[in-house]
Copies of this chain bind each other. A is one copy, B any other.
Amino acid sequence: MFTEYLRVNGHRKTSERYAILDTIYSIKGHFDIETLHDMMINEEKFRVSRATVYNTIELLLDAKLVIKHQFGNSSQYERSYNMGTHHHLICTECGKVSELQNNDLQQAISHSPMKRFQMSHYSLYIYGICSKCAAQRKRKKQ
């Protein structure tokens, strides 16, 4: 799919781009650029510059192979192919992000009537307290 995207858009097939794509698709959840870059250097033993990672992520976003999120301070990303739509639960206490599957909600949102706007995609972020932090709070109170 990426190869096709590169071909159609007249971009070159470089080893860096494929290495970045592979690393991203080895990650299950969310990641930021820093983490991805570190993983490539340390685990994959593939030296790339930060700039190339930023460039490539931009292509992957455009190719719809990666989705960008903006919780916390730095941008977070996740692979989008083979991932199924889902919503995000973000703990305001510890910052942990988990996924929520709810097909009814998905339907409701994507079929929501909109004047003068063509929806392409959406993000639903639900903030609150995760069970772990709730338990921790309870313990503190006692």
Contacts and interface: CB of A to CB of B under 8 A. Distances in A.
A70 interface: yes
A95 interface: no
Interface stretch (A18-26, A43-51, A117-125): A117-125
Interface stretch (A33-41, A78-86, A128-136): A128-136
A30 to B, nearest CB: 14
A128 B92 CA distance: 28
User: How many of these chains are in the complex?
Assistant: 2
B125 A123 contact: yes
A26 to B, nearest CB: 27
A91 B119 CA distance: 9
Given A105-B108, A109-B124, A116-B131, 14 more contacts: A91-B117, A92-B120, A98-B117, A100-B114, A100-B117, A105-B109, A108-B108, A114-B126, A117-B129, A117-B130, A119-B127, A120-B127, A120-B128, A122-B125
A112 to B, nearest CB: 5
Contacts of A59: none
